[in-house]
Chains A and B, each alone.
Chain A
Amino acid sequence: MSSDDLDTVAALHDPVRRAVYDYVASRGCEVGRNEAAEAVGVQRTLAAFHLDKLVEAGLLEAGFKRLTDRTGPGSGRPSKVYRRAPGEWQVSVPARDYRTLARTLAEVVDLLGGDEQAERVARRAGAGLAGPGEDLGEVLRRRGYEPYEEEGRLRLRNCPFHLLAEEHPLLVCSVNLALCQGLLAGLGEEAVAARLDPRPGECCVAFSKEDL
């Protein structure tokens, strides 16, 4: 853990700022100041203040974009817009470095060709992550998947294993799918299936009705 990560995460301590961050993150696209202010229920200037602080901390990225369809003279200046920055920050006190350990072990699994065993273990581990009758969306939210609904599917905006998935995509995405399938088993949820449905910038798994 670097002290910089701690400073970055500390920027989320203020409840209003946290709400602003959560809103931008939950949208998964560029968000204007007015929209953020309305969503969080604060004045536009206060929302702008917190949005810019979040950019300063490196948690959001800012850009300029025309928020209306109008172009040409009279359509106004482009608005400042915000979206979540791609980095990730990890804080543990005292310092623990599970990331390096995970990278090392993932490489070993790759070298040994142990994907299938890894998937079996993941399925079992997933079943232990949720109890019967718990709400699937809530369990996924708790585990950092950032679920949202789209066309009858529960999609996952965030991959909790992003860094490892970049280095070992086949292994990590398979393990993640198995984990999600195990999770459904743990919930006792038989009407829903976890399937690969990858798209850029998101987790590779989506949940849908078994017969879909």
Chain B
Amino acid sequence: MHLAQLNIAHMRAPKDSPELADFVAALDPINRLSDEAPGFVWRLKGGDAPQDTVEHDYGDHLLINFSVWESRDTLWDFTYRSAHLGVLQRRREWFLRMAEPYSVMWWIPRDHVPTLAEGMERLELLKAEGPTPRAFTFKDFYDSSEAAWRPAAAEVRK
């Protein structure tokens, strides 16, 4: 199993505004860092340019980050034990504080390429039910053995 993670963030200003300039400048080095990090599997790209971000219909000013990793520890080490940490610490300069969950993880089969819609559904699931084996967080983490992947399960609950 692989670990998928989706993050959303609300930008304080448009992406091309001076307020976001430092963040946009960090995109290329941080994306490179992630793509070369141990355990990195896949990342949803917004385009071929290093600073392209994911295009979506979920609202203006919403920045989406979506990636797949080999394990919790490899994702953890990239997120919090690399130069990425310094960017995270400046998040308040660029993004609004979120009262709702803004990050979700779930297990996927190794050959599965997840879609953005799937990721947003998992985030909704986390908001609705709290952490479960199907949608969880670093703080309330579920091992892949506890998280049997049943694509039908999300449908049944609708």
Contacts and interface: CB of A to CB of B under 8 A. Distances in A.
Nearest to B82: A198
A174 B85 CA distance: 10
B89 A199 contact: no
Interface string B74-85: 000101111101
A169 B80 contact: yes
Contact of B97 (A113, A170, A198, A199): A113
A173 B97 contact: no
B81 A204 contact: yes
A200 B89 contact: no
B88 interface: yes
A167 B139 contact: yes
B46 interface: no
Given A167-B139, A169-B80, 8 more contacts: A169-B79, A169-B85, A174-B89, A198-B82, A199-B81, A200-B81, A201-B81, A204-B81
Interface in A154-203: 167, 169-170, 173-174, 196, 198-202
Given A113-B97, A174-B89, A198 B81 contact: yes
Interface in B97-154: 97, 138-139
B63 to A, nearest CB: 17
Interface of B: 77, 79-83, 85-86, 88-89, 92, 97, 138-139
A123 to B, nearest CB: 15
Contacts of B89: 170, 173-174, 196
Contact of A198 (B85, B138, B139): B85
Contacts of B86: 196
B142 to A, nearest CB: 16
B85 A173 contact: yes
A157 to B, nearest CB: 13
A202 B138 CA distance: 19
Contacts of B82: 198-199
A196 B82 CA distance: 9
A115 B92 CA distance: 10
A170 B81 contact: no
A106 to B, nearest CB: 11
